[in-house]
Structure 1
Amino acid sequence: MANELNKFSRTLTQEVSNPAAQAMLYAIGLTEEDLKKPQIGIASTGYEGNPCNIHLNGLSVHVKKGIQANDMVGLIFHTIGVSDGMTNGNDGMSYSLPSRDVIADSIENVVSAQWYDGLITVVGCDKNMPGAIMAMARVNRPSIMVYGGTVRSGVWKGKKLDIVSAFEAYGQKITGTISEEDYKGVIQNSIPGQGACGGMYTANTMASSIEALGLTLPNSSSFPATHEGKVAECVAIGAAMKVILEKQILPRDIITKKSLENALTLVMALGGSTNAVLHYLAIAHSAGIELTYKDIQDISDRTPFIADLKPSGKYYMEDVLALGGVQAIIKYLMKEGLIHGDCLTISGKTMAENLEDVVDLEFENQKIIHRISDPIKKTGHIQILYGNLATRGSVAKITGKEGLKFEGIAKVCDKEEEMLEAFAKGEIKEGQVIVIRYEGPRGGPGMPEMLKPTSAVMGAGLGDKVAMVTDGRFSGGTHGFVVGHISPEAYEGGTIALVKDGDRITIDAESRELTVHVSDEELAERRKTWKPLTPPFIEHGILRKYFKNVSPADEGCVTDK
């Protein structure tokens, strides 16, 4: 049986023409019997600098034990991670989105070069997960993702906290609505330990939706990082990997148009991050599947927003486990006809078969998940908007809590820093549409997230009084009336580059319109004198490579087209 499972690694371990490879494998402690076994690469994004990732190397050891116990060889390797929480609002954020492609490239590189028969990725922060799934789709060998788990909520003076509490405290500090003691108390107590940011932010959005995609064990996204179920999941990975090796169930068997619809349906139902749009476009590209903005809008149109989770709601990811976890939510959506139950998963069973023994979601004693008949919003919170300000499209995150339409006067800021300076000076006023430009995939470079500006606005109590539009991205922790991913971006000469202070802008989530009320003739006149703002950091290195190769936001910001 082993010889049938080591179809790739046997190139190095069995072929007589590769004695040096075999010598090196003996040198790391493998035996002659080990060389007959399948080899599984275990890719960890663990590193000490981020609570989302600090524990992943330890989880990888448990994964390896489960692999060895099932008569396979597990070999741990590592790739990078970048903390979105720590880089938000500073130049480090230009490196965040590029890290997704570095992660995908490096995992593909190692698995392909080392001839591994299968792949397990142990991941935590925002870009780890899409990068891992992109790599799985590229190499197309039996693969499973393990999510490191969400962090527990923090607390200060009896109030539950998370990472966004720290960001919003800045807005409170600027406006003088928080004491210095409370400001420090919030910062020091927002994050109590290991695990990814605790709301339905990008990490938990991607983890739960990848579970709906079928590439994790059931409830991988539900166990907090410190829950005993997380270690048990890691050990159980070995048996699951043996099944998909024997049945040769490959990522491209699991990643299909229908399973992508499942993943995006869960994103809409849970009020997930707009980053999911960007990442699923990239995952679909890696899997050779056509996925468009129209597909995503169609899913949003038919999927009610039903989860009262942070950032726009009250509850945390840690609270979902008590309901039966994400599996119970997926089962409910399937019973309501919103999830395709016939999609294959890494268990070797269909989604419907996996859900047979899952407890039904109950509604009497919990307020986190609403019935579809009584949703928070009748359609999804993610809306694809078009207009003269976004001729190739844009991605809005509108829960309805701040209304469905906003019309205001433009306050134009070249780069995020200019907006934060204006905020500190008291120049951000009620009724404005704050335009933050030159933050796109090329103009940023790296399409930075705008969590610091949105958190400042929310902390100042302006969340329903101003809107914000950008060719950059918004964090999963963002809430308020926001539109990102504007394409074409300012650096490419998109209309956002031509907007001036005082222009009237309309954002309409119902008609899906994003319009600056300036005539075509006036825009043409402005274009005659327009010159792009040269993005920083592109003279050499990774950001230069990214600048030269990245596709537009509406194509997923991929670098291998």
Structure 2
Amino acid sequence: MWRSDKVKKGIERSPHRALLRACGLSDEDFDKPLIGIANSYIDIIPGHVHLREFVKPIKDEVRKAGGVPIEFNVIGVDDGIAMGHYGMHYSLPSRELIADSIETVVEAHQLDALICIPNCDKIVPGMLMATARLNIPTIFISGGPMLAGEVNGKKVDLISVFEGIGQLKAGKIDEGQLKVIEEHACPTCGSCSGMFTANSMNCITEVLGLGLPGNGTIPAVDPRRELLARAAARQIMELLKRDIKPRDILTIEAFDNAFAVDIAMGGSSNTILHLLAIANEAGISYPLSRINEISRRTPNICKISPSSEYHIQDLDAVGGIPSLLKELIRGGYLPHPDAMTVSLKTHKEIAEEAPDADGSVIRRVEDPYSKEGGIAILFGNLAPEGSVVKTAGVDPNMLTFRGRAICFDSEEEAIEGILGGKVKPGHVVVIRYEGPKGGPGMREMLSPTSAIMGMGLGDKVALITDGRFSGGTRGACVGHISPEAAAGGPIGVVKDGDEILIDIPNRKIELLISQEELKRRLENFVPKTKEVKSSWLRRYIRFVTSASKGAILEA
């Protein structure tokens, strides 16, 4: 009857049952489905420190609904803590370890269904990749977002601290003021309070159809979060009964919807990388050009920190993702409103029960921030395979920018150059050898982008990289430039003083030299190599693909 019967039914499985009895299972349990609960509890990530307690009511509801909860844990990396030093090399690779580890536990023990409890950064996409790969009934319930902090009546968050470093270097604040921001920026557990990568992905999980309404926005410390967790635990049993699997929901139409909402709310640019990887696991080829088509026709109607003063709690207060969906559907901008979700309702049915757009946190489609979306894909001779920019965080005066290159071959060099005053108005900061192979691990560039903003250069300087940005990045910052320098990409042959054009309205990024000169440089180009001592990272370098393909590992 159940998949797990392979490990608990028949005379030949007597040894297996003996081991299961040692884990607390009884004769009665052997007739029930085994429900895997992938819990990402870890002591060093604020979005996860409460998950040891958070999982208890989930297990309780599974038992009440007739299942046997089988909790196991996965690793996690806190991008904010790993950022700006060697540790960040491990962040993106951890996504693959998470997906592989979940597959390993589920398949080794033939679990019948899966509840995923993620919250931050690579944990959400890693679990989504595993879900698409395994294709057994699955539901997501995240740990919930952090509340914003407050200093002198003004909301602050993690990005306030990063940008505070630049403000300190520029003489705008002193160390005491920076310490006050540091002490108040992260006041509760939960994923950081803006529309950074964690919250972008948790919101998108709703839109992909694998999380119940409220999954992305109900705060971690709100009692409604536990109620939602209990509802998710009950719902997994219904999905199992009906044999509704992730690939029944994760269609190409679901990814269209996910990109449309991501673009409408100006989510993290990392969502592009992760959604491409998840689509690959679901057996779907999703070209970057399709994202641009959606971006062209989808208005940006919601801006959350770092793109505004609003935070996730403000979006939740006006109806969350269901209200955003409702407004997009009203304007005809959600590509597939009849797509199914784990709630067994369509997006249209969910939206009908949600409040109307409030007009401020979620603007009406007649009054958008911009008629085109908050994320764009740029192509050109600098990025033949594409690059990504979060347009929602770009100063309108910087949407088209022509400047002179100042080149750095690592994040550390760039930070030293920015804080040391080498970067001047009119520069395009080029950070290379930070892609999937070259980094390795495609480190996020929050420190250099925050330094630029904190020093008051956000409307005077652009930044491009074959690395990627934190969801907290704002400014004229173009990442994921593909192919990367380490793979022989054109970004590797840019020289100091070269003129670069960033034309976001026309989706172009160009190195303004002749074709002949570019060809000559590329023919003579020998990419730099780094000594990598870690055997895991050396394996990662060997198998990882371009950012334009989601930085997936080739089998």
Can you list the C-alpha shifts for 1:437-486, whole angstroms capped at 9, x where unaligned?
00000000001110100000000111110000000001110000011100
Give how far 1:188 is off: 1.6
Counterpart Cα distance in 2 of 1:324 and 1:489: 40
Alignment of 1:197-212 (within 5 A): 197-212=192-207
Counterpart Cα distance in 2 of 1:134 and 1:534: 30
The match for 2:226 is 231
Among 71, 74, 80, the residue aligned to 1:76: 71
Q: Is structure 2 residue 113 aligned with structure 1 residue 118?
A: yes
2:141 is paired with a residue whose SS is: strand
Counterpart Cα distance in 1 of 2:350 and 2:238: 15
Q: Is structure 2 residue 344 aligned with structure 1 residue 348?
A: yes
The match for 1:18 is 13
The match for 2:60 is 65
- The question of whether the paired residues in 1 share the 8 Å contact of 2:148 and 2:185 is answered with yes
Counterpart Cα distance in 1 of 2:137 and 2:445: 36
The match for 1:546 is 540
Counterpart Cα distance in 2 of 1:524 and 1:11: 59
- The question of whether the paired residues in 1 share the 8 Å contact of 2:405 and 2:495 is answered with yes
Counterpart Cα distance in 1 of 2:434 and 2:259: 25
The match for 1:53 is 48
Among 460, 485, 503, the residue aligned to 1:465: 460
- The question of whether the paired residues in 1 share the 8 Å contact of 2:33 and 2:112 is answered with yes
Counterpart Cα distance in 2 of 1:306 and 1:357: 20
Counterpart amino acid of residue 438 in structure 2: G
Q: Is structure 2 residue 441 aligned with structure 1 residue 446?
A: yes
TM-score normalised over the length of structure 2: 0.97
The match for 2:553 is 559
Give how far 1:353 is off: 2.7
Give how far 1:386 is off: 1.1
Among 188, 194, 198, the residue aligned to 1:193: 188
Q: Is structure 2 residue 364 aligned with structure 1 residue 371?
A: yes
Aligned pair count reads 552
Among 154, 161, 167, the residue aligned to 1:159: 154
Among 371, 378, 382, the residue aligned to 2:375: 382
- The question of whether the paired residues in 1 share the 8 Å contact of 2:166 and 2:419 is answered with no
- The question of whether the paired residues in 1 share the 8 Å contact of 2:327 and 2:365 is answered with no
Query: For the aligned residues, what is the CA RMSD?
Result: 1.3
- The question of whether the paired residues in 1 share the 8 Å contact of 2:300 and 2:368 is answered with yes
Counterpart amino acid of residue 113 in structure 2: G
Counterpart Cα distance in 1 of 2:64 and 2:82: 40
Q: Is structure 2 residue 85 aligned with structure 1 residue 90?
A: yes
1:473 is paired with a residue whose SS is: coil
TM-score normalised over the length of structure 1: 0.96
Counterpart Cα distance in 1 of 2:444 and 2:520: 31
Counterpart Cα distance in 1 of 2:376 and 2:352: 33
Counterpart amino acid of residue 78 in structure 2: S
- The question of whether the paired residues in 2 share the 8 Å contact of 1:402 and 1:480 is answered with no
- The question of whether the paired residues in 2 share the 8 Å contact of 1:163 and 1:191 is answered with yes
Give how far 1:528 is off: 5.1
The match for 2:165 is 170
Counterpart Cα distance in 2 of 1:378 and 1:359: 23
Give how far 1:264 is off: 1.0
Counterpart Cα distance in 1 of 2:507 and 2:315: 32
Runs (5+) with no aligned partner, structure 1: none
- The question of whether the paired residues in 1 share the 8 Å contact of 2:438 and 2:486 is answered with yes
Q: Is structure 2 residue 301 aligned with structure 1 residue 306?
A: yes
The match for 1:523 is 518
Counterpart amino acid of residue 410 in structure 2: K
Counterpart Cα distance in 2 of 1:354 and 1:382: 25
Alignment of 1:420-431 (within 5 A): 420-431=415-426
- The question of whether the paired residues in 1 share the 8 Å contact of 2:140 and 2:232 is answered with no
Counterpart Cα distance in 2 of 1:217 and 1:172: 40
Counterpart Cα distance in 2 of 1:83 and 1:284: 24
Give how far 1:529 is off: 4.6
Among 251, 255, 276, the residue aligned to 1:260: 255
Can you list the C-alpha shifts for 1:32-82, whole angstroms capped at 9, x where unaligned?
011100010000111001101111222122211111110100011000000
Counterpart Cα distance in 2 of 1:514 and 1:140: 39
- The question of whether the paired residues in 2 share the 8 Å contact of 1:42 and 1:121 is answered with yes
Give how far 1:536 is off: 4.2
Give how far 1:229 is off: 0.8
Alignment of 1:261-300 (within 5 A): 261-300=256-295
Counterpart amino acid of residue 165 in structure 1: S
Counterpart amino acid of residue 341 in structure 1: P
- The question of whether the paired residues in 2 share the 8 Å contact of 1:402 and 1:463 is answered with no
The match for 2:310 is 315
- The question of whether the paired residues in 1 share the 8 Å contact of 2:357 and 2:363 is answered with no
Runs (5+) with no aligned partner, structure 2: none
Can you list the C-alpha shifts for 1:389-439, whole angstroms capped at 9, x where unaligned?
111111122235343201000000111111111112211100000000000
Counterpart Cα distance in 1 of 2:389 and 2:283: 26
- The question of whether the paired residues in 2 share the 8 Å contact of 1:138 and 1:286 is answered with yes
2:342 is paired with a residue whose SS is: coil
Q: Against the structure 1 CA distance between its residues 286 and 416, is the aligned structure 2 distance closer, same or farther, given a 3 Å change threshold?
A: same
Give how far 1:293 is off: 0.2
Counterpart Cα distance in 2 of 1:128 and 1:540: 22
Give how far 1:94 is off: 0.9
The match for 1:506 is 501
Counterpart Cα distance in 1 of 2:232 and 2:242: 15
Q: Is structure 2 residue 32 aligned with structure 1 residue 37?
A: yes
The match for 1:240 is 235
Percent of matched pairs sharing the same residue:
44
Give how far 1:221 is off: 1.0
Counterpart Cα distance in 2 of 1:337 and 1:108: 38
